[in-house]
Amino acid sequence: MPELPEVITVTADLKKELLNEVLINFKITTSYRKIFLTEQINNKKVKSAFNIGKQIIIEFENQIYLSIHLGMTGQLLLNKTDKYEKAVLCFSNDKTIYFSDIRKFGHLKELTREQLEKQKSNIGINILEQFDKQKLIQRLQKRKTPIKNLLLDQKLISGAGNIYATDALFLSNIHPAKPSNTLTKQEHETLITNLKKLLEEGITHRGSSMNRYLDLYGNKGSHQNHFRVYKKRNQKCPICQTSLQFEKLADRGSYFCPRCQA
């Protein structure tokens, strides 16, 4: 699933290409129950593009917003498509955005200003922006939940996903199954710092191209070449050379070093 760096990359591409362009019309090319668009979005100028957690938001004039979630396998591509195409957005200056998805977990939803604000209220903090670190740590220290699960809780921390959470825990020498309330304040601070560092790395590398992720131009990101332990089951730990292990937590695969993260 595209995580925060991938979403930020695609959002920046959309803002670059679509700012001040006009949505001429849209077309739903495949029956898809998660596309909710009306004619009122047509002939509206793009004012901005930003993200709310893993949602991409295109802001149009008249306080109309388009929420895009890429789900597990969704793609947005400029002037190119594939056999999994679900919808087409035709803009001025011959710019066409194609939305494709294999597993059909993504969505396109037209939102009002009120609906947008409600979406924001349901999303956790973005650690790439200004936030109260001590307040977050206090919340983490009260929870008995495995720390890996909390890092993936979008109502607590928005945008972080399995890739970046896994490697942040490794860099912090914390086992993914360790209950959050057993970590020290310093361990929580280190973990937050490392998660932010890895998300920023991912943005610099234009995302991790696992499965279908591509940027708006159909190019792969390169962060997969910089994974610490993610997807490296049975390979040697880059620190101590112990064989890396794998286990599932809350149905998500976790890779870790049994020695460094004991």
Query: Using one digit for the tens of pLDDT, what is the confidence trace for 36-78?
Result: 999 999 999 999 999 999 999 999 999 999 999 999 899 999 9
Q: Is the pLDDT of residue 32 over 90?
A: no
Domain topology for 133-256: Helicase, Ruva Protein; domain 3 (1.10.8)
Start and end residues for every CATH 1.10.8.50 domain found in the chain? 133-256
Q: How confident is the model at residue 210 (pLDDT cuts 50, 70, 90)?
A: confident
Contact 247, 254 (CB under 8 A): yes
Domain topology for 4-121: N-terminal domain of MutM-like DNA repair proteins (3.20.190)
CA 200/CA 189 separation, integer angstroms: 17
Average pLDDT of the chain to the nearest whole number: 95
Start and end residues for every CATH 3.20.190.10 domain found in the chain? 4-121
Contact 44, 22 (CB under 8 A): yes
- N-term to C-term CA, the chain: 28
Residues of the chain with pLDDT > 70, as a percent, come to 100
Sign of the torsion formed by the C-alpha atoms of 102, 12, 2 and 141: negative
Residue positions annotated with a catalytic role:
2-3, 54, 252
- Which residues, in sequence order, are CB contacts of 104 under 8 Å at separation 6+? 32, 33, 34, 71, 86
Give pLDDT tens digits for 144-181.
Answer: 999 999 999 999 999 889 999 999 999 999 999 999 99
> What is the pTM assigned to this prediction?
0.94
Closest CA to 127 of 115, 142, 140: 140
Q: How confident is the model at residue 103 (pLDDT cuts 50, 70, 90)?
A: confident
Contact 208, 215 (CB under 8 A): no
